[in-house]
A and B are shown apart, each in its own frame.
Chain A
Amino acid sequence: MSFDAEKVRRDFPILHQEVHGRPLVYLDSAATSQKPQAVLDAVSRYYERDNANVHRAVYELAARATRDYENARATVASHLRATDPREIVFVRGATEAINLVAQAWGRSNVGEGDEILVTGMEHHSNIVPWQILCEEKGATLRVAPLDDAGDVILEEYEKLLSPRTRLVALVHVSNALGTVNPVEEMGALARDRGIPVLVDGAQALPHMEVDVQNLGVDFYAFSGHKAFAPMGIGALWARSEHLEAMPPWQGGGEMIASVSFEKSTWNDIPWKFEAGTPNVGGAVGLAAALEYLERVGLDAVAAWESELLAYGTEVLGEVPGLEMVGRARRKAGVLSFVLDFAHPHDVGTILDREGIAVRTGHHCAQPVMERYGVPATVRASLALYNSREDLDELARGLAVVREMFG
């Protein structure tokens, strides 16, 4: 499928503006993506025509809102190649999805002396929920180390899979390094030993096809806002046998079958995990975003971004004093680097004045910064709407930094 970069760019209204008198160059999609008109329209159409609470009342609007919400679930399921929409739990984002598993699954499956295995490139959201669980249960968090390029050292990872390992929790695509982990291979090594696998897919969904059947994992968490949907909506996919066995994690309306002061019983999956009024508008926006991605074509998106990443690596490679942090075998969407003549934070301010938005800092991955001996990096991250010109602008902005600091 051919990719019309110009056309895709036109689909995102926010990109067509000036910042500090310069055309906006948005290179921070790993923090949050911009939204196409199709998503903005779907959300406003929902609030203009269909808004009501779901699964409750008998009137027309309530029926439409319920239908929209459950259709969105089916869209997410089909996008992830899940076999059953009941395996999709709507949450606020990847962070909440991981916390849900840590609490609902972890509390009943992890005990004293057990181990949870993560990798050295996890976002704080796939570290801290496990630390809280380990603390509570007397379990230990183990960390598979990274090599200098930014890949997990697979032999070390395999050695760390022990009879005490209860879960492997790993990131699909690293937000700080761009590394695409070999999830199928790592997942298979765990599952061969009967260890379930959770994948933090927040950075994968906007860049590539995600097929949970092929990945062969147990839990897949993601945030809508990184994948062109509004903030405040995301999903957890989990195999239905896990969801059936897991106790609820938050109590309230919607998640119950019946309530009395003596005892309450739980609703079926996935609603058992969706206490309270859900973010229906967000779910509608998420479905519209995934449909948009599918219309553009996931293979075309992946091919375009891989071209951009190669071009960006080449352009940045010519900047004197620049060192890339993260040179993994397979990468997606992220160019993370340091300059020997300026601190990332100063780089960020100067680029901003040139209209270029990049992230500077530790990217909520402090252990990654520590591993590579840098306090912070400059991160330019890509999405389908970026162009070669954006990367040329970045290089030009870095020349301005050099002029000031070099």
Chain B
Amino acid sequence: MVTVAKCRQTVDAAAVAANRTIEQPGVFPFTRGIHADMYRGRLWTMRQFAGFGTPRQTNERFRFLLSKGQTGLSTAFDLPTLMGLDSDAPQSAGEVGRLGVAVDTVDDVRQLFDGIPLEDVSVSMTINASAAVLMAFYLVAAEEAGCDWTRLRGTIQNDILKEFHAQNEIVFPPAGSVRLAVDLIEFCTRRVPLWNTVSISGYHIREAGSTAAQELAFTLADGRHYVEEMLQRGWKADGFAPRLSFFFNAHNNLLEEVAKYRAARRIWATMMRDEFGACEPASWKLRFHAQTAGCTLQSRQPEVNVIRVAYQALAAVLGGCQSLHTNSLDETLALPSEHAVTLALRTQQVLAHETGIPEFVDPFGGSDCVETLTEQFCDQAADYFEQIADQGGMFAAIDSGFFRREIAEAAYAEQRLIDSGQKVIVGVNRFEEAVDEPIELLEIDPTIEREQVKALHHVKATRSPDAVRQALAEVRRVTATDVNLFPALLEAAGARATVGEIMNALADALGRYTLERE
């Protein structure tokens, strides 16, 4: 791991001075930020991830957040939806509406965004294995509500590669999964031009225990892979790259995190321009969402989490994020309560409006320490890119378990440091309290599952079975070809086919992922 102490010894003052004079914010390679004026021109988007229970309940939470001054929406789906299962599937028992909102059909998406002006509020959806299905639901719901697709703004995560590295929300084998993701990228690039077609995510890689350097390298390697897939389909980089977006973790080590974001921008801009021949500045700019690190939250003395989150948010803002989620203090215990989520949002508002930090652009630019850390991150990422290439590329490295192994090693090394007390976690292995003050938690109503299944059965009873059958047959047919299957998904969505039905139709052609290669 890069450490500040180490960089103090190895700093090359001349090189640092050279960087300082060369790099400017808003100018290639954008190390210092993608805009010349950064937050002076426009603040970051405060986007709290939310979702639980039925679509109606999450719709209420969305309206609550907007009323408190939040500026964008971010949707959390429940595990059955993320895994492409209906709420009445046997495997869904106990999980419906628990970690996010349950969605089975287009009607649930309509309910979810009921009364929210989709042409004015940007919407983020965190979903991967079933991303194409949910995006089809969203577009059909928007169309039925009279919205123009060309005016929709938002992001779908749609980053299946990091699921293989870290988060395990996987349904299809790697190649089929990536084809689905790239079909979405291709379709939305053409038809929903303001939409971010993928959010290439390091967040989950870091949460799974990686180092900052691994987070950086694996995320950009994933980004490179999506670009290569699009180029193989005959696209020019400038045709789609401006709508690729990123998602990074904001962890504890403040200066290291700032340097990580700076390095990410520099590497991406250089790669897009010099390797992939992108000519437009919009294609070079790495835009990213940041979320404070869930894995650093502690269940002991939970109020201390507020302080951790504040410092992590500070790192994200000093690092030039475009949008930010701040975690709630109670998330090691349950989904956040309204009180906790308000406090988390207020943390960002204080940062934006009271600290004065948005007045300055990349305030660490030129600092010996942060410039050197930035350099070191670039070098470490280059080293990982080489290791991945040496193994035969992304799929070969996934196949051999390279990413999982690297991440698991780092996670275990960290746990040993904590267990031995070499790494201090306040309130956990030092400064403990005998009794922690209890805090109020959100409870998920167990009747949600029944309510959601009832809604699903109602849709099934009122739709046209013939239209569903035909639409699913078309999904199967197109999946077996090389044709972009997104239009077929839109048809199926419109016919009120369920998430589970569509995913099963896809699996008939793509196969299912098994843990044989774990």
Is the A/B pair a real complex?
A: no
